[in-house]
Amino acid sequence: MPPRRRHRKDPTAVSDLLRGLRPPSPAAGATRPHGAAPDLEALVAAWSQAAGRDAARSVPVRVSRQGVASVACADASMAQAMAYREAELLAGLERSGAVRLRGLRFVVADHAVTFLQPPPERAPVAPGADARRVARGLVAAAEDDRLRQALERAAAASIQRSWDTR
């Protein structure tokens, strides 16, 4: 039986391993201490320009020490669209000069996107006589009087609203 061979990676120089851990030199323009995350405030300020019209439905919420920004998106489709544009967004943020990131991570966190406009409140509808007549015919089979009246009011308002939007 032949001897078993182990498959190993090629040896790596210790200097290559340490290069990723060493703080950047001041000559290279480093302005923050080793291991500190990029400034979130600067990122938020630059985000609206980099993201364009999608900035209203997304906001950076965290930056890791490794330079990866977590961006809260209003919904899954926005997170997917932003992930598709990751390279473009990183380039835009780098052009702004505010921050330099290694990557972006998009998460669905609609609670974090606070500046979205809430849906407009609908004004109560006063159903007309025709809408009440149609609604009365729809709920006539309900045996309980209170239930029938509640259903009639709801149906009449719904019918009137649908007629008003035509």
CATH number of the domain within which 97 lies: 3.30.300
Written as six digits, the tokens of 16 are 């290559």
Neighbours of 120 (CB within 10 A): 6
Confirm if 105 and 71 have CB atoms less than 8 A apart.
yes
- How much is the pTM? 0.48
Whether 16 is in a domain gets the answer no
Assess whether 134 and 84 both reside in one domain.
Answer: no
Amino acid at 19: R
Query: Where in the sequence is the domain holding 151, given as residue range(s)?
Result: 129-164
Q: How confident is the model at residue 166 (pLDDT cuts 50, 70, 90)?
A: low
Q: What is the pLDDT of residue 33?
A: 46
Over range 119-147, report the average pLDDT. 89
Counted domains in the chain: 2
Pair (103, 53) in one structural domain: yes
Angle at 47 between CA 42 and CA 49, to 5 degrees: 115
**One domain, residues 42 and 81:** yes
The candidate with the shortest Cα–Cα distance to 55, out of 93, 87, 98, is 93
